[in-house]
Structure 1
Amino acid sequence: MTSGPTANWNMSSRWNMSLATAGDPWGQALGAPAGNTSSPVASSAANFSNQFVQPSWRIALWSLAYGGVVAVAVFGNLIVIWIILAHKRMRTVTNYFLVNLAFSDASMAAFNTLINFIYALHSEWYFGEAYCRFHNFFPITAVFASIYSMTAIAVDRYMAIIDPLKPRLSATATKVVIASIWILAFLLAFPQCLYSITKVMPGRTLCYVAWPGGPKQHFTKLYHVIVIVLVYCFPLLVMGITYSIVGITLWGGEIPGDTSNKYHEQLKAKRKVVKMMIVVVLTFAICWLPYHIYFIVTGIYQQLNRWKYIQQIYLGSFWLAMSSTMYNPIIYCCLNKRFRAGFKQAFRWCPFIELSSYDELELKAARFHPIQQSSLYAVSRMESSMTVVFDTNDGDNTHTSCKKRAALRDTSFNGCSRRNSKTISTASSLISSLHTSVKDYS
């Protein structure tokens, strides 16, 4: 079996594996010949490893940085999940995808970030073979689920704005899409779990992916290219196209002649949601770009792994990638009034957080809709006016005229009921659609 440590794409610290295996038979990626276990090589490997030992103050700073990311990401995303699931008004198609995004981000921060930081810092795997497999498997799964949740939101926004007459995703269809995302994520990451191993070396234990045939085989390279394309390039391309079209539609001009307050209210709400999601996507793209560039460059120029400052560059790029999990709750709080009200409610125990009555109303399901009521009232008025009957008979035939009026009124009502029922049904559907649209975008 040949070396596999340097072939890990994900957060199992491919850089750390390259450093940790320098000078042993498994470290061929750094030029150590297989089977060379002579003392000069071992001594060289020890000196090579020692140059990456960090002073205590630097370790403390990195620990605070990574610890802060984990704390904000886990608690922030859990609060986002609570805001959506605990308040009926927040349970929209877009927000269900945000729940999936928050869950994957919180899981990534909780189960991978600190573990990988410790491994990169000490070049020692302390967590056993089972967690080694999970550690190599789960990051790709979580990143895939995160970015395709954002992609699903982008496509849903595109359909709602560009072709609003088409039916929206139902709650059941949304759950099917989310389940499909996770199934595809599991399938993509499964090779990382299958070939993960731990190896006990003199003085250390390693966790890495031992690919069949070694890291330079065609299958290994192809797999890593596919992963980068599927978890970064392709979804960002799709979101770039959809949000560009949506942006041109929303900000490119207004509908000629439509100056109603209702239209401007809907347009403003749509712009806010799209603006928030564009910020989320750009944040993800910027945070992960240095990480992907790092591994592409060090994969081509492997001598860079011996550079004195490469460890700091790795820790910095990895921190930036992991920090993408903590920004979304902050973005929601800043750019969406309902999420802001939800965070105020979650932190109302803080002395400097003031929860107003307006904030409480933002998260409550609206039971009274003036627009809907007034529109239905207009339909009722129209129907009532159609049932009015005038009698021209004189007072001598009062009893007869009363019967005629009753008969005519009943006939008029029954005759119009079929036509009017369609009118009421159509109006109710239209009004309900308009109200749902405003609720989704608010």
Structure 2
Amino acid sequence: MLLLNISVSDMLVCLFGTTLSFAASVRGRWLVGRHGCMWYGFVNSCFGIVSLISLAILSYDRYSTLTVYNKRAPDYSKPLLAVGGSWLYSLFWTVPPLLGWSSYGLEGAGTSCSVTWTADTAQSHSYIICLFVFCLGIPVLVMVYCYSRLMCAVKQVGRIRKTAARRREYHILFMVITTVVCYLLCWMPYGVIAMMATFGRPGIITPIASVVPSILAKSSTVFNPLIYILMNKQVRQQFY
């Protein structure tokens, strides 16, 4: 359910966000006006946060699956609650710029939109700080904690037994960790550039310098399905 949630959010980015930036890049300018820019900034932020929160929840799910032995039948209520919670959490942090707490505007070379990182106002700075703490910092800390504890548990179990079921769990763990690492590699450069643009001296980030991190951030929608197909045996068999 969580993997499906990530895939859906990536697909929605491609349908409702990438199409606009692709057309703008072909023409060399933004084509759909201020409201289109606000829409683009909102959907990219919303769906991106959904993916990151889902990955954080997935890290806890893998940790609890490997460390808590449970014979009960699969319960879909908790995954559905997690999926719904990821969307509500994302909306909670991406709707405020539409209502006046910061805003969405053109970024980089003027062919895409995002949060107005360069706005020198107390409102904008407070929103950006909250966005990075609650939508990047805390989820990353959750992942680091869960995976560090999980690695200790895996090493202990590996010394005791190496059944086929456990080997399968190790493979899933490796897939999820790879997904998270790729996601952070895609988004960290964008985050660093955004923070430099917000709190650095004016003009420190040129439009050209901001294009590459923006493209890397969008490329996370490409890497996730490749990882699922190449590294997940069940998904790969169904795909074939």
Please indicate, yes or no, whether the TM-score normalized by the shorter chain is above 0.5.
yes
1:242 is aligned to 2:117: no
> Are 1:303 and 2:208 matched, yes or no?
no
- The CA RMSD measured in Å over matched residues stands at 3.0
1:208–1:288 distance in 2 versus 1, CA, 3 Å? closer
**How many pairs align?**
233
Correspondence for 2:127: 223
CA positional deviation for 1:279: 0.2
Deviation at 1:278, TM superposition (A): 0.3
2:210 to 314, 335, 355: 314
Match of 1:104 among 2, 6, 9: 9
**Aligned residues: percent identity?**
22
Distance 1:197-1:240 versus aligned 2 partners, 3 A rule: closer
Q: Which of 179, 197, 219 is the aligned partner of 1:280?
A: 179
Give per-residue Cα distances to partners, 1:28-67, cap 9 Å, x unaligned: xxxxxxxxxxxxxxxxxxxxxxxxxxxxxxxxxxxxxxxx
Structure-2 change in CA distance of 1:146 and 1:208 (3 Å): closer
Unaligned 5+ segments in structure 1 are 1-95, 199-203, 345-442
Specify the code of the residue in structure 1 equivalent to 2:178.
V
How far is 1:183 from its partner? Answer: 1.3
Q: Which residue of 1 aligns with 2:31?
A: 126
Aligned-partner Cα distance in 2 for 1:207–1:149: 24
Decide whether aligned partners of structure 1 residues 169 and 190 sit closer, same or farther in structure 2, where only a CA change above 3 A counts.
Answer: farther
Task: Give the match's secondary structure for 2:219.
Answer: helix
Give the distance between the partners of 2:98 and 2:61, measured in 1 at CA: 32
* 1:329 is aligned to 2:225: yes
Amino acid at match of 2:131: V
1:38-437 to structure 2, matched below 5 A, reads 96-116=1-21, 119=24, 124-165=29-70, 170-195=75-100, 215-254=119-158, 256=160, 258=161, 264-299=163-198, 300-305=200-205, 310-344=206-240
Q: Give how far 1:102 is off.
A: 0.4
Secondary structure of 1:165's counterpart equals coil
Distance apart, 1:301 and its partner CA: 2.4
Residue 221 of structure 1 aligns with an amino acid whose one-letter code is H
Q: Which has the larger radius of gyration?
A: 1
TM-score (norm. length: structure 2):
0.84
**Greater relative contact order, per chain length (Cα 8 Å cut-off, separation 6+):** 2
Give the residue type in structure 2 aligned to 1:138: V
Q: Is the 8 A contact 1:136 1:193 kept in 2?
A: no
What secondary structure, in the 3-state scheme, does the structure 2 residue paired with 1:215 have? coil
